[in-house]
Structure 1
Amino acid sequence: MATADTSQLFHVVVLLAAAAVAVPLFRRLGLGSVLGYLAGGVAIGPFGLGLFAQPEAILHVAELGVVLFLFVVGMEMRPSHLWALRRQIFGLGPLQIGTCGLVLTGTALLLGLAPPVAFIAAFGFVLTSTAIVMQLLAERGDIATPRGQRMVSILLFEDLLIVPLLALVAFMSPAHESGDGGSRWMAIGTAAAALAALVAAGLFLLNPLFRLLAAARAREVMTAAALLVVLGAALLMEMGGLSMAMGAFIAGVLLSESTFRHQIEADIEPFRGLLLGLFFLAVGMSLDLAVVAADWRFVLLAVPLMMVAKATCIYAIARLLRASHVDALDRAVLMAQGGEFAFVLYSAAQSEGVISGSVNNAMTAVVVLSMALTPLAMLATRRFTRRAAATLDGVEPASGQSGSVLIIGFGRFGQVMSQSLLARDVDVTIIDSDVDMIRSAAGFGFKVYYGDGTRLDVLHASGAGSARAIAVCVDDSAAADRIVELARSAFPQARLLVRAYDRAHKLRLVAAGVDVAIRETFGSALQFGEAALRQLDVDPDEAARITAEVRKLEAERFELERSAGIGAGAKMMRTNTGPKPTPLTPPRRQARVLGPGDGTAPGDTDPASGTPGT
Structure 2
Amino acid sequence: MAAEAQGSELVKVVVLLAAGVVAVPIFKRIGLGSVLGYLAAGLAIGPFGLGLFAESQAILHVAELGVVMFLFLIGLEMRPSHLWSLRREIFGLGSVQILACSAAMTGVGLLFGFPPVVAFIGAMGFVLTSTAIVMQILGERGDLALPRGQRIVSILLFEDLLIVPLLALVALMAPADAVADGAARSRWADIGVALAALATLLAAGIWLLNPLFRLLAAAKAREVMTAAALLVVLGAALLMQVGGLSMAMGAFLAGVLLSESTFRHQLEADVEPFRGILLGLFFLSVGMSLDLRVVAANWPLIVGGVLILMLTKAVCIYGVARALKSCHTEALDRAVLMAQGGEFAFVLFSAAVGARLLDAETGANLTAIVVLSMALTPIAILLLRRLAPKAALSLEGVDEPNGLSGSVLLVGFGRFGQVVCQSLLARGVEVSIIDTDVDMIQSAQSFGFKVYYGDGTRLDVLHASGADTAQLIAICIDDRAAATTTVQLVRHQFPQAKVLARSFDREHALELVNAGVDLQVRETFESAMRFGEAALVELGVPADEASEVVADIRRRDAERFELELVGGTRAGVPLLYGNMQQTPLIAPKPRAGAAGAEAPAAGPAS
Question: Take 1:337 and 1:437, find their aligned partners in 2: how far apart are those partners?
Answer: 39
Question: Take 2:108 and 2:328, find their aligned partners in 1: how far apart are those partners?
Answer: 25
Q: Kindly provide the CA deviation profile for residues 427-446 of structure 1, in whole angstroms up to 9, marking residues without a partner as x.
A: xxxxxxx9x95877998654
Look up the equivalent residue of 2:207 and give its one-letter code: F
Question: Take 2:482 and 2:177, find their aligned partners in 1: how far apart are those partners?
Answer: 68
Q: Find the residue that maps to 1:298 and give its secondary structure.
A: helix
Aligned to 1:246: 249
Aligned to 1:24: 25
Report the count of equivalent residues.
417
Question: Take 2:338 and 2:149, find their aligned partners in 1: how far apart are those partners?
Answer: 12
Question: Take 1:76 and 1:355, find their aligned partners in 2: how far apart are those partners?
Answer: 39
Q: Kindly provide the CA deviation profile for residues 511-562 of structure 1, in whole angstroms up to 9, marking residues without a partner as x.
A: xxxxxxxxxxxxxxxxxxxxxxxxxxxxxxxxxxxxxxxxxxxxxxxxxxxx
Aligned to 2:163: 162
Q: Does 1:384 align with 2:388?
A: yes
Per the TM alignment, residue 380 of structure 1 is displaced from its structure 2 partner at its CA by 1.1
Aligned to 1:308: 311
Q: Find the residue that maps to 2:322 and give its secondary structure.
A: helix
Question: Take 1:418 and 1:8, find their aligned partners in 2: how far apart are those partners?
Answer: 60
Aligned to 1:188: 191
Per the TM alignment, residue 175 of structure 1 is displaced from its structure 2 partner at its CA by 2.9
Aligned to 2:51: 50
1:258-337, aligned counterparts within 5 Å?
258-337=261-340
Question: Take 1:106 and 1:314, find their aligned partners in 2: how far apart are those partners?
Answer: 16
Check conservation: 2:163, 2:344, Cα contact below 8 A. Answer: yes
Aligned to 1:134: 135
Q: Kindly provide the CA deviation profile for residues 21-73 of structure 1, in whole angstroms up to 9, marking residues without a partner as x.
A: 11000000000000000000000001111100001000000000000000000
Q: Rg: which structure is higher?
A: 2
Q: Does 1:13 align with 2:31?
A: no
Q: Find the residue that maps to 1:49 and give its secondary structure.
A: coil
Task: Say if 1:80 and 1:385 are closer, same or farther in 2 by CA, change over 3 A.
Answer: farther
Q: Kindly provide the CA deviation profile for residues 57-109 of structure 1, in whole angstroms up to 9, marking residues without a partner as x.
A: 00000000000000000000000000000011111111100110010000011
Question: Take 1:297 and 1:151, find their aligned partners in 2: how far apart are those partners?
Answer: 32
Check conservation: 2:480, 2:504, Cα contact below 8 A. Answer: no
Aligned to 1:360: 363
Question: Take 2:335 and 2:22, find their aligned partners in 1: how far apart are those partners?
Answer: 31
Q: Find the residue that maps to 1:53 and give its secondary structure.
A: coil
Per the TM alignment, residue 387 of structure 1 is displaced from its structure 2 partner at its CA by 7.7
Task: Say if 1:439 and 1:196 are closer, same or farther in 2 by CA, change over 3 A.
Answer: farther
Question: Take 2:361 and 2:209, find their aligned partners in 1: how far apart are those partners?
Answer: 46
Per the TM alignment, residue 300 of structure 1 is displaced from its structure 2 partner at its CA by 1.0
Look up the equivalent residue of 1:84 and give its one-letter code: S
Question: Take 2:258 and 2:267, find their aligned partners in 1: how far apart are those partners?
Answer: 9
Question: Take 1:14 and 1:202, find their aligned partners in 2: how far apart are those partners?
Answer: 39
Check conservation: 1:92, 1:154, Cα contact below 8 A. Answer: yes
Per the TM alignment, residue 412 of structure 1 is displaced from its structure 2 partner at its CA by 3.2
Per the TM alignment, residue 416 of structure 1 is displaced from its structure 2 partner at its CA by 3.7
Q: Find the residue that maps to 1:303 and give its secondary structure.
A: helix
Q: Find the residue that maps to 1:30 and give its secondary structure.
A: coil
Look up the equivalent residue of 1:56 and give its one-letter code: Q
Question: Take 2:95 and 2:293, find their aligned partners in 1: how far apart are those partners?
Answer: 36
Q: Find the residue that maps to 1:7 and give its secondary structure.
A: helix
Per the TM alignment, residue 3 of structure 1 is displaced from its structure 2 partner at its CA by 1.1
Task: Say if 1:375 and 1:215 are closer, same or farther in 2 by CA, change over 3 A.
Answer: same
Aligned to 1:494: none
Check conservation: 1:66, 1:131, Cα contact below 8 A. Answer: yes
TM-score by length of 1: 0.65
Aligned to 1:83: 84
Check conservation: 1:171, 1:177, Cα contact below 8 A. Answer: no
Q: Find the residue that maps to 1:412 and give its secondary structure.
A: coil
Q: Find the residue that maps to 1:228 and give its secondary structure.
A: helix
Residue segments in structure 2 that go unaligned for 5+ positions in a row: 393-411, 423-439, 441-476, 485-501, 506-529, 532-606
Per the TM alignment, residue 386 of structure 1 is displaced from its structure 2 partner at its CA by 2.8
Check conservation: 1:195, 1:237, Cα contact below 8 A. Answer: yes
Q: Find the residue that maps to 1:373 and give its secondary structure.
A: helix
1:512-531, aligned counterparts within 5 Å?
none
Aligned to 1:175: 176
Look up the equivalent residue of 2:14 and give its one-letter code: V
Question: Take 1:277 and 1:167, find their aligned partners in 2: how far apart are those partners?
Answer: 30
Aligned to 1:62: 63
Out of 64-73 and 214-223, give the one that drifted further: 214-223
Q: Kindly provide the CA deviation profile for residues 186-214 of structure 1, in whole angstroms up to 9, marking residues without a partner as x.
A: 10111001000000000001000111111
Aligned to 2:204: 201
Check conservation: 2:78, 2:256, Cα contact below 8 A. Answer: yes
Question: Take 1:314 and 1:110, find their aligned partners in 2: how far apart are those partners?
Answer: 21
Check conservation: 1:329, 1:385, Cα contact below 8 A. Answer: no
Question: Take 2:269 and 2:151, find their aligned partners in 1: how far apart are those partners?
Answer: 26
Task: Say if 1:59 and 1:233 are closer, same or farther in 2 by CA, change over 3 A.
Answer: same
Q: Kindly provide the CA deviation profile for residues 293-338 of structure 1, in whole angstroms up to 9, marking residues without a partner as x.
A: 1111110110000000000000001111111000000000000000
Q: Find the residue that maps to 2:113 and give its secondary structure.
A: coil
Aligned to 1:38: 39
Question: Take 1:100 and 1:167, find their aligned partners in 2: how far apart are those partners?
Answer: 20
Per the TM alignment, residue 5 of structure 1 is displaced from its structure 2 partner at its CA by 1.3
Question: Take 2:206 and 2:482, find their aligned partners in 1: how far apart are those partners?
Answer: 48
Aligned to 2:520: none
Check conservation: 1:295, 1:362, Cα contact below 8 A. Answer: yes
Q: Find the residue that maps to 1:339 and give its secondary structure.
A: coil
Question: Take 1:362 and 1:148, find their aligned partners in 2: how far apart are those partners?
Answer: 32
Aligned to 2:95: 94
RMSD: 2.7
Check conservation: 2:90, 2:154, Cα contact below 8 A. Answer: yes
Aligned to 2:512: none
Q: Find the residue that maps to 1:317 and give its secondary structure.
A: helix
Q: Kindly provide the CA deviation profile for residues 564-585 of structure 1, in whole angstroms up to 9, marking residues without a partner as x.
A: xxxxxxxxxxxxxxxxxxxxxx
Q: Find the residue that maps to 2:152 and give its secondary structure.
A: helix
Q: Kindly provide the CA deviation profile for residues 235-293 of structure 1, in whole angstroms up to 9, marking residues without a partner as x.
A: 00000000000000000000000000001101111000010000000000000001001
Look up the equivalent residue of 1:287 and give its one-letter code: L
Question: Take 2:388 and 2:287, find their aligned partners in 1: how far apart are those partners?
Answer: 29
Question: Take 2:68 and 2:284, find their aligned partners in 1: how far apart are those partners?
Answer: 16
Question: Take 1:16 and 1:75, find their aligned partners in 2: how far apart are those partners?
Answer: 28
Check conservation: 1:330, 1:385, Cα contact below 8 A. Answer: no
Question: Take 2:179 and 2:57, find their aligned partners in 1: how far apart are those partners?
Answer: 33
Q: Does 1:219 align with 2:222?
A: yes
Question: Take 1:131 and 1:86, find their aligned partners in 2: how far apart are those partners?
Answer: 22
Look up the equivalent residue of 1:269 and give its one-letter code: E
Task: Say if 1:154 and 1:134 are closer, same or farther in 2 by CA, change over 3 A.
Answer: same
Look up the equivalent residue of 2:244 and give its one-letter code: G
Look up the equivalent residue of 2:61 and give its one-letter code: H
Residue segments in structure 1 that go unaligned for 5+ positions in a row: 389-410, 422-433, 448-467, 470-614
Q: Find the residue that maps to 2:234 and give its secondary structure.
A: helix
What's the % identity of the aligned pairs? 67
Aligned to 1:112: 113
Q: Find the residue that maps to 2:186 and give its secondary structure.
A: helix
1:440-479, aligned counterparts within 5 Å?
445-446=503-504
